[in-house]
Amino acid sequence: MHGEAGQFLHQGAHALVLDYTCIAYLWAQDLPTVTHRGNVAGIHDALVGLGSELERRIALDGDLDGVPRLMVVIDRADATLRHLARYWATFRQKDDPKRSPAIAALEAVLYEGRVARIHVIYDRPTTVGDRLIPGAREQFSTVILARASAGTWQRLAPIVDPAPKSSPLPGRVHVVQDGDAHPAQVPLMTDAEAADWLTATAAGEI
């Protein structure tokens, strides 16, 4: 996801990066427009705060001039949601909701975020035991698949039939929008290249 996230940051967006492994987005940690959360407790609190930010932006009733676009980047989303559910179960009180409020906030963003200029890049959707409520996954306007099996195509982009063949070339993907799959090339960058490019962008050198 380096290429996709980097493109949005290059265009002036801010990002909330949720990376529970603490290894996928180290290049972005020092960028002034990126908030990085790596442990499960931090991710939980960040998503609950994101729900409040969504409400704040919706209350502006479309007056979003000067409000930066916010990209919520979730690495290894399947495992992250499992960890969030377990984390909430360990300390929730009797009167607390059974479902994780962090996951509930994420679902609210999936349904309403676009009108508030909040968008989600959701890497590796869940395959078994999906923890999102029914219909939440259908809120993604774009699905990007690379080297995906026929079963993955059927699950994530069932409207595309037959599934196109995967390319062995690095960075080659299919972008699914409006029921059609289009081949595309994702920019390939090392961590250092991505950080240098965006640092130069922030400094006005590009």
Domains (range + CATH), the chain: 2-141 (3.40.50.300)
Q: If residue 42 lies in a helix (H) or strand (E), which one and from where to where?
A: helix 40-59
Task: Give dist(CA 87, CA 64) in Å, integer.
Answer: 34
Residues 124, 18: contact at Cβ < 8 Å?
Answer: no
Given pLDDT bands bounded at 50, 70 and 90, which one contains residue 205?
A: low
Query: If you average pLDDT over residues 79-95, what whole number do you get?
Result: 92
Highest mean pLDDT among 18-32, 50-64, 172-186: 50-64
Residues 151, 127: contact at Cβ < 8 Å?
Answer: no
Which one is predicted more confidently, 58 or 142? 58
State the number of CA atoms in the 13 A half-sphere of 202 facing the CB. Answer: 17
Query: If you average pLDDT over residues 193-206, what whole number do you get?
Result: 62
- Of 11, 18, 189, residue with least CA distance to 103: 18
Query: If you average pLDDT over residues 50-75, what whole number do you get?
Result: 93
Report the range of poorest mean pLDDT among 83-97, 127-141, 158-172.
127-141
Please give the pLDDT value at position 78. Answer: 84
Q: What is the pTM of this model?
A: 0.78
Residues 137, 130: contact at Cβ < 8 Å?
Answer: yes
Which one is predicted more confidently, 109 or 4? 109
Is the pLDDT score of 135 beyond 80? Answer: no
Is the pLDDT score of 188 beyond 70? Answer: yes
Which one is predicted more confidently, 200 or 120? 120
